[in-house]
Chains A and B, each alone.
Chain A
């Protein structure tokens, strides 16, 4: 089943009408039908341009959550020559919301870690909608440390509505698992790149996001709180999520302007879900060039720059 976003419905309707006319034309071609087709094609192109050229932050959030959007394991297949999944945090269990393992990018050996969502009920049961438990964050850190030990760069793919707010997660100190990652990632002595491929949900996203380069897909979002959550608190109703999405400056162009991300990977017209191969190719080249920039740096320089990058975040004034 194809998911149609609300703002895309006029487009879908126009496409269906066009199909209908073409069917008619196939049966019996008249100049009237030919004209109608040409007219509709023009309108569709305009409508498409209008819809996709100025996506609002809330529309981007919807694209970022689209169930046909490529997920971490899709990119593992599409961008990498090989992915060898490794399992478990060595303490409690294996978190399927946070797969990770060795991968080869354009001939270069790396460690690939990320959040994975599911497309149906069965998959989401396994992947917990991309919301990792403490075990996921601890597995991620275990793999990062192994990468450091064997001199491999780390690539993290961020795609989560947030770390899981469940009873077991709280009991096993989800907050500490994230906090410990923030602290320890600052010390990993190999190049690290993260890319927000879909949802960058708060601390759960940042928990694998303290990296030398932070890349974002064009329609991904990265935010301190979900637009719905923010709307519920500040506007007193979730219905105001579109305004909250605007106010939070969570879209890739806004975050680029705020200096939070280093690079935006363009998506096909209308979003990554329209062409997995095209977006994977763009992402791959962005990852390859980020690693090419970072690989020549010595580990001391890498750590110093990583520290300075995050040290600089924040806006305030200072009086006498």
Chain B
């Protein structure tokens, strides 16, 4: 896991964040130059070709939930250097400064078109949204909160995989999150997994692919191993569109591919099928 290193993802959308307002951003898909402000207004979807740029967790929450309903939970969990891995906490610190986030996932209660849900949004800008103890714990607690409050949990995944700086503890987060989902499922409560670019490694091989419903953003990369590793292992050319959302839908993993501008209304519609209407406490 962690085979898919952050560097090999082309459109991180990281640099753009640092640019002052009003600058042009070049679409990596169609080459069109886009106004940063226009791109932000369009939920970071290219106005020309529909390419989905990386989106911050804050932007995503704003685009999804009923206004003013998001209430963050477990905001104060901090990573520790359990293995004594060289420079690990300095790295975490640098990403905290860079992104303004404490860790690679934001969780909380919210309503979507009136339906109470618990949301977990991974933020790829933070160390490739790799899963260490904090990410695993926050996702587990989000699931447990939803189980307790008898509502749906919706997880937006994006990840380079397990966080190797936390070694085996990272690997165990896969079992931990899936354990919480096992209990959530036994309580007949819904779990909607939304895959965004890129979802790989230990996140794909744990909570991201066991949703009752699995949605994906167009063309997002979904895979277990990184494409380079697959190519090197098999010594063969990869089929066209390999490991894209469309490819994975064709191969039976994904229920629906949803354009970002209609994500909120799609989730609202699906929630009404799977979740009994309830007044939140």
The count of chain A contact residues (Cβ–Cβ below 8 Å) is 53
Chain B residues 206-220 with CB under 8 Å of chain A are 206-210
Q: CB of B233 within 8 A of chain A?
A: yes
In the complex, residue of chain A having the shortest beta-carbon distance to the beta carbon of B203 = A175
Residues on A with C-beta less than 8 A from B204 are 175, 179
Question: Scoring A residues 277 to 320 as 1 if CB is less than 8 Å from chain B, else 0, what string do you get?
Answer: 00000000000000000000000000000010011011111111
Chain A residues, Cβ within 8 Å of B172 = 206, 260, 310, 313-314
- Segment with Cβ contacts to B, from A70-78, A165-173, A262-270: A165-173
B2 near A: Cβ within 8 Å?
Answer: yes
Q: A247-B85, A248-B83, A316-B79 are in contact. Are A224 and B182 (CB under 8 A)?
A: no
Tell me, yes or no, whether B10 is within 8 Å of chain A by CB: no
How far, in whole Å, are A318 and B76 apart by their CA atoms in the complex?
Answer: 6
The answer, yes or no, to whether B225 is at the interface (CB within 8 Å) is yes
Of chain B, the residue at the smallest CB distance from A207 is B205
Q: Which residues between 186 and 229 of chain B lie within 8 Å of chain A, taking CB atoms?
A: 186, 201-202, 204-210, 223-226, 229
Tell me if B233 and A317 are in contact (CB < 8 A): no
Measured between beta carbons, the chain B residues less than 8 angstroms from A247 are: 83-86, 167
Determine if A64 is an interface residue (Cβ-Cβ < 8 Å).
no
Contact between B209 and A314 (Cβ–Cβ < 8 Å)? no
Decide if B223 touches A307 in the complex (CB within 8 Å): no
The one of B182, B202, B225 that contacts A187, using a Cβ cutoff of 8 Å: B182
Q: Which residue of B lies closest to A164 (CB)?
A: B233
Which residues of B, 70-99, contact A by the 8 Å Cβ criterion? 74, 76-80, 82-86
Q: How far is the CB of A59 from chain B (nearest CB, A)?
A: 18
Which residues of A sit under 8 angstroms from B181, Cβ to Cβ? 183
Indicate whether A313 sits within 8 Å of B173 (C-beta atoms), given known contacts A175-B224, A178-B205.
Answer: yes
Q: How many residues of B contact A (CB 8 A)?
A: 68
Does the CB pair A183–B2 fall under 8 Å? no
Query: CA–CA, A78 to B52, complex, Å?
Result: 56
Question: Is B22 interfacial (CB 8 A cutoff)?
Answer: no
A210 within 8 A of B: yes
Q: Considering residues B76, B78, B210, B223, which has the most beta carbons from chain A within 10 angstroms of its beta carbon?
A: B210
- Cα separation A199 to B133 with both chains bound (whole Å): 23
Question: Does B251 touch A at the CB level, under 8 Å?
Answer: yes
Is B183 at the interface (CB under 8 A from chain A)? yes
| Chain A neighbourhood of B136, CB < 8 A | 313-314
List the B residue with the shortest CB-CB distance to A248.
Answer: B167
Q: Is A12 close to B, CB under 8 A?
A: no
